[in-house]
Homo-oligomer: A and B are copies of this chain.
Amino acid sequence: MIVVMKVDSSQDEIHAVVKRIEELGLKGHISQGVEHAIVGVVGQIFPELRDRLELLPGVEEVIAVSKPYKLASREFHPQNTVVQVNGLAIGGGEIVIMAGPCAVEGEEQLLTTAHAVKAAGANMLRGGAFKPSTSPYHFRGLGEEGLKLLARAREETGMPVITEVMTPTDVELVAGYADILQIGTRNMQNFALLDEVGRINKPVLLKRGLSSTIQEWLLAAEYILTQGNEQLILCERGIRTFETYTRNTMDISAMPIIKKVSHLPIIADPSHATGKWYLVTPLALAAVAAGADGLLIEVHPNPDMALKDGPQSLTFENFQRLASQLTSLVEATGRRLAVPGTTVTS
């Protein structure tokens, strides 16, 4: 941590800063520049240190040098985390495709979709039983009934299932059915929920908050990791910007940034990132070209009759086309799509 003194700070003020640092059990090194004196803090930094120094007389600003997250950082964990899900490896070099309807609406809708996406090349089934919705008047999901249908679809197709959990008291219930628990964008900083999924022994997919920086996202991951659950996957799903053409703006740079600063796998959700089905395929291809470990794609047998997010859902035919283009792209980059049961991890 570095304390930058004001241009007109006095020697007394500088020494008072060093004294405070020493009282806190650390050491302070003064470096007198042409304009500003700076005081480097040496020793074990603690979270409140910055606030302890920022208000002292003569201080211009306090700059943190160390990253605030540790367990999520590549610095302290250089090797890639590979999350194993029923024989599928996420983050090990192969590309996983999680596909399915936004919301589980009923048996036929779910099973038809599950079979269709599997036939096209998906290796995991998505579907929401508990649905967050901006308006209280919109469909909020089938609840446990939806979870049961997901389990049924897994049985029929052999694909593991991923579904959202919205509140701490539902974690046990959802974990009883799902193979991966999804934390939605609005819950990225629902700390009680993060704590709770940090204590279970199931993979978790953590979506980036609508307006979260990369750093805040990794700090949310840190909540889960500090509780002991290391089976963690990140998911970029678009951030909020001023642009109104798309529902959100997919931060494509999140793919290489996460790979650089963290060891966690990262997948992309182009359906929520765009809100428009005809943008899903180009953005899915882009995400994989940029280094994503997988995709989360919404597919529906009849998008214009969907109970939720129809406009961003692919038809079976469009999903097939996506999967086929993806195959060419992945091969061109020397990687391959994951094949359940045959996965070898890097």
Given A33-B41, A65-B36, A133–B191 Cβ distance below 8 Å? yes
Given A66-B35, A169-B168, A311-B51, A211–B210 Cβ distance below 8 Å? yes
Could you tell me the distance in whole angstroms from the C-beta of A41 to the nearest C-beta in chain B?
A: 7
Asked whether A11 is an interface residue with its Cβ less than 8 Å from the other chain, the reply is no
- The residue of chain B having its C-beta at the shortest distance from the C-beta of A288 within the complex is B289
Asked whether A255 is an interface residue with its Cβ less than 8 Å from the other chain, the reply is yes
- What 1/0 flags go to A242-255 for Cβ under 8 Å of B? 11111001111101
Could you tell me the distance in whole angstroms from the C-beta of A96 to the nearest C-beta in chain B?
A: 18
Asked whether A239 is an interface residue with its Cβ less than 8 Å from the other chain, the reply is yes
Could you tell me the distance in whole angstroms from the C-beta of A18 to the nearest C-beta in chain B?
A: 13
Query: In the complex, which of the residues B29, B65, B242, B328 contacts A242, with contact meaning CB atoms closer than 8 Å?
Result: B242
Q: Is A245 in contact with B226, judged by CB distance below 8 angstroms?
A: no
Q: Is A42 in contact with B34, judged by CB distance below 8 angstroms?
A: yes
Q: Is A44 in contact with B34, judged by CB distance below 8 angstroms?
A: yes
A43 to B34 CA separation, bound complex (whole angstroms): 6
Q: Which of A52-60, A80-88, A119-127, A144-152 contacts B (4 or more CB under 8 A)?
A: A52-60
- The residue of chain B having its C-beta at the shortest distance from the C-beta of A274 within the complex is B253
Could you tell me the distance in whole angstroms from the C-beta of A29 to the nearest C-beta in chain B?
A: 5
For the complex, count residues of A whose C-beta is within 8 A of B.
Answer: 110
A331 to B215 CA separation, bound complex (whole angstroms): 36
Could you tell me the distance in whole angstroms from the C-beta of A93 to the nearest C-beta in chain B?
A: 16
Q: Which of A275-294 contact B (CB under 8 A)?
A: 277-279, 282-283, 285-291
Could you tell me the distance in whole angstroms from the C-beta of A185 to the nearest C-beta in chain B?
A: 9
- What 1/0 flags go to A295-306 for Cβ under 8 Å of B? 000000001111
- The residue of chain B having its C-beta at the shortest distance from the C-beta of A306 within the complex is B51
Query: In the complex, which of the residues B4, B168, B211, B283 contacts A167, with contact meaning CB atoms closer than 8 Å?
Result: B168
Q: Is B245 in contact with A214, judged by CB distance below 8 angstroms?
A: yes
Could you tell me the distance in whole angstroms from the C-beta of A193 to the nearest C-beta in chain B?
A: 8
Q: Is A253 in contact with B255, judged by CB distance below 8 angstroms?
A: no
Query: In the complex, which of the residues B186, B278, B291, B309 contacts A256, with contact meaning CB atoms closer than 8 Å?
Result: B278
Chain B residues, Cβ within 8 Å of A278: 256, 260
Query: In the complex, which of the residues B55, B242, B308 contacts A310, with contact meaning CB atoms closer than 8 Å?
Result: B55
By Cβ-Cβ distance, the 8 closest A-B pairs, closest first, are: A332-B332, A211-B211, A289-B289, A31-B40, A167-B192, A286-B286, A286-B290, A55-B304
9 sampled A-B residue pairs with Cβ under 8 A:
A55-B310, A136-B226, A210-B211, A241-B242, A243-B251, A283-B290, A328-B332, A329-B333, A331-B332
Q: Which residues of A contact B (CB under 8 A)?
A: 2, 4, 6-8, 29, 31-36, 38, 40-45, 47-48, 51-56, 63, 65-66, 68-69, 75, 132-140, 166-169, 186-187, 189-193, 210-211, 213-216, 219, 222-223, 226, 239-246, 249-253, 255-257, 260, 273-274, 277-279, 282-283, 285-291, 303-311, 325, 328-329, 331-334
